[in-house]
Structure 1
């Protein structure tokens, strides 16, 4: 009995992450699929329309939906969005006089 309890505890600890992971991959319900389809139709996708441009049409509509969702989830904290830009400081390097003469590689260009 003493060796059964630790084995049961170990088995429970090993099975807990597997059970929680399996529950996170739930399929979509019909209502969720219909809501997504309505959202795509509002973005300009017509499921019974032009069949010759199928992948391009739905991808364009999905991009518009993603943009709308991004705007809806925008940062409203008042601090502004993160910037991915860069800046440079300093002055332009002076070109030596010898590099601009007739013996320069860039002469005449």
Structure 2
């Protein structure tokens, strides 16, 4: 019994680090980060400015300006990679069903 417990602990100790990677996308390269910095600087953001009181709003304004120029309709309020101003659909009604049973009083 002790051998089984030790074996289980050893296998789980080896398996947990392999399963704990959270990043699924490839990381950005230095060139991509530099290009992004150049774009926000051209849109009016100055990273050398020492006024930290306006930090989130001034870079968000520059990113919004870039998004408007590119025709993007996403906002900076996106959480976890998902925009908060979109729509979603959980599914479609089954065939033969005309409405929601709660709404129709059934």
Q: Fold-level match, TM-score > 0.5? A: no
TM-score, with length taken from structure 2 = 0.43
Higher Rg:
1
